[in-house]
């Protein structure tokens, strides 16, 4: 009979899961991002449909905070993670307040209109970030 011994890594070597970027915690981030997208989309749909659901308020609030915050976070790619989260959430709150203030000043306030305006501004910010990144790639390809 043969004995198989398991060698423990010495203190100078690193684990192969750390080197390859694989491990139990790596699959959690895309799962959470997908769940957040579903919650936000359900919140927007419930608000537009004017459904009588106890989840309408929290899900819509989550959408109103997450949509502009995600767009701003995409633009702030160079910051450290904590500063990026803090600045994007503050920017998301500011976008919501500016939309509400502008609609109230124009006497055009409505809940679906506010959600549509926040959605449009968030989409526009995200598209501008994507266009800027694509232009940066094409200019770097031309230079090389």
Contact 129, 70 (CB under 8 A): no
| pTM of the full structure | 0.74
| pLDDT at position 138 | 73
| pLDDT at position 50 | 86
The 3-state DSSP class for residue 20 equals: helix
Residue-by-residue pLDDT tens, the chain, 144 positions = 667 777 666 665 555 555 555 666 677 888 888 899 999 999 999 998 988 989 999 999 999 999 999 999 999 988 998 999 999 999 999 999 999 999 999 999 998 999 999 999 999 999 999 999 888 877 666 666
The 3-state DSSP class for residue 79 equals: coil
Can you tell me the distance from the alpha carbon of 118 to that of 120, in angstroms, rounded to the nearest whole number?
A: 5
Structure tokens at 85: 């989260």
For tokens 């749909």, what's the residue? Answer: 45
From the list 51, 110, 28, 90, the residue with the least C-alpha distance to 43 is 51
Q: What is the CA radius of gyration of the chain?
A: 22
The neighbour count for residue 41, using CB atoms within 10 Å, is 13
């Amino acid at each position: 009979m043969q004995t198989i011994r398991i060698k423990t890594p010495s203190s100078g070597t690193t684990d192969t899961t750390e080197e390859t970027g694989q491990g139990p915690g790596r699959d959690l981030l895309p799962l959470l991002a997908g769940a957040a997208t579903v919650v936000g989309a359900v919140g927007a749909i419930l608000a537009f449909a004017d459904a009588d659901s106890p989840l309408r308020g929290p899900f819509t609030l989550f959408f109103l905070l997450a949509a502009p915050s995600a767009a701003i976070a995409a633009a702030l790619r160079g910051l450290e993670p904590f500063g990026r989260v803090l600045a994007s959430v503050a920017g998301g709150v500011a976008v919501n307040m500016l939309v509400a203030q502008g609609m109230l000043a124009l006497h055009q306030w409505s809940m679906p209109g506010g959600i549509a305006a926040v959605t449009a501004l968030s989409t526009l910010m995200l598209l501008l970030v994507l266009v800027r990144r694509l232009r940066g790639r094409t200019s770097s390809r031309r230079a090389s």
